[in-house]
A and B are shown apart, each in its own frame.
Chain A
Amino acid sequence: MKRKSPIRRKKKTAAKNKTRRKNNKKKLILPYLRILLLLFLAFIVYVIYLDFEVRSQFDGKRWSVPARVYARPLELYVGKPLSYEQFNFELKTSGYRLDQDNIKTGHYQKNGNSYRVVIREFDFWDGHQPPRYVEVKFEDGFISNVTDFRDQADIAVVRLEPAIIGRIYPSHREDRLLVKLSDVPEYLTAALLATEDRQFYSHYGINPKAILRAMIANFKAGAVVQGGSTLTQQLVKNFFLTKEKSLVRKFNEAIMAILLEVHYEKHDILEAYLNEIYLGQDKKRAIHGFGLASRFYFDKPIYNLELSEITTLIAMVKGPSYYDPWKHKKRILNRRNIVIALMAEQGSITPYQASLAKEKPLNVVKRSKQITSVYPAYMDLLRRQLQQDYKKEDLTSEGLQIFSTFDPYVQKITEQTVKLQIKQLDKQYNLSGKLQSAVIVTNTNNADVLAVVGDKQPTYAGFNRALDALRPIGSLIKPAVYLTALQQKNKYSLTTLIEDKNITLKAQDGNLWSPRNYSGESHGVVPLFKALISSYNQATVRLGLALGFESIVTTLRNLGVDRDIPPYPSMLLGAVTMSPLEVTQMYQTLSAEGFITPLHTIRKVLTAKGEPLKHYPVKIKQGVDETSVRIINSALHEVTRHGTANSLQWRLPKGLKVSGKTGTTNDTRDSWFAGFSGEHLIVTWLGTDDNQSTGLTGSSGALPIWSEIMKKIRTRPFSFANDDELEYYYVESEKGLLVNDNCSTAAYLAFRKNIHPEDYGSCLQ
Chain B
Amino acid sequence: MKKSKLFILRVFLLVSLLPLIACQAPKEKDVVWTSDTGEVRPGPKTGKAVLALLHKSRQASTAGSLSTAESHLERALRIEPQNPTLWLYMAKLRLYAAKSNEAINLAKKALALSSRAENLSRTSRDSLQADCWRVIAHAHQKMGNLKKAQKAQDKAKSLSY
Contacts and interface: CB of A to CB of B under 8 A. Distances in A.
A618 interface: yes
A547 to B, nearest CB: 25
B47 interface: yes
A445 B49 contact: no
B105 A445 contact: no
A318 interface: no
A157 B49 contact: yes
A310 B47 CA distance: 45
A350 interface: no
A301 B140 CA distance: 51
A723 interface: yes
23 contacts: A75-B49, A79-B47, A79-B49, A126-B60, A126-B68, A126-B75, A156-B48, A156-B52, A157-B49, A445-B81, A446-B81, A595-B112, A603-B74, A615-B67, A615-B71, A617-B102, A621-B105, A622-B108, A622-B112, A722-B115, A722-B116, A723-B115, A724-B115
Contact of B79 (A77, A603, A626): A77
A617 B70 contact: yes
Nearest to B106: A620
Interface in A52-83: 75, 77-80
Interface in B41-82: 47-49, 51-53, 56, 60, 67-68, 70-72, 74-75, 77-79, 81-82
Contacts of A78: 47-49
A502 B116 CA distance: 41
Contacts of B115: 721-724
Main secondary structure on chain A at its contact with chain B?
loop
Contacts of A79: 47, 49
B40 interface: no
Interface in A70-110: 75, 77-80
A526 to B, nearest CB: 30
Given A595-B109, A621-B105, A724-B115, A125 B71 contact: yes
Contact of A126 (B71, B79, B108, B116): B71
Main secondary structure on chain B at its contact with chain A?
helix
B67 to A, nearest CB: 6
B32 interface: no
A127 B116 CA distance: 34
A26 interface: no
B79 A75 contact: yes
A620 B49 contact: no
Interface in B70-107: 70-72, 74-75, 77-79, 81-82, 90, 102, 105-106
Nearest to B53: A157
Given A612-B67, A626-B112, A156 B49 contact: yes
A604 B47 CA distance: 25
A135 interface: no
Given A595-B105, A622-B108, 11 more contacts: A77-B49, A126-B71, A126-B72, A127-B68, A156-B48, A446-B78, A593-B112, A615-B67, A615-B70, A719-B116, A721-B115
Interface of A: 75, 77-80, 125-127, 154, 156-157, 443, 445-446, 593-595, 603-604, 612, 615, 617-622, 626, 719, 721-724
A668 B106 CA distance: 42
A116 B23 CA distance: 45
The 9 closest A-B pairs by CB, nearest first: A445-B81, A77-B49, A156-B52, A157-B49, A126-B71, A723-B115, A721-B116, A626-B112, A156-B48
A604 B109 CA distance: 23
Contact of B105 (A80, A604, A620, A626): A620
A444 to B, nearest CB: 8
B160 to A, nearest CB: 17
A407 to B, nearest CB: 11
Contacts of B68: 126-127
B39 to A, nearest CB: 21
A75 B75 contact: yes
Contacts of A612: 67
Nearest to B55: A156
A620 B118 CA distance: 23
A119 B108 CA distance: 39
B84 to A, nearest CB: 12
A445 B82 CA distance: 8
Contact of A77 (B48, B72, B105): B48
Contact of A157 (B52, B60, B112): B52
B77 A156 contact: no
Contact of B78 (A75, A125, A615): A75
Contacts of A157: 48-49, 52-53, 79
B54 to A, nearest CB: 11
Contacts of B102: 617, 619
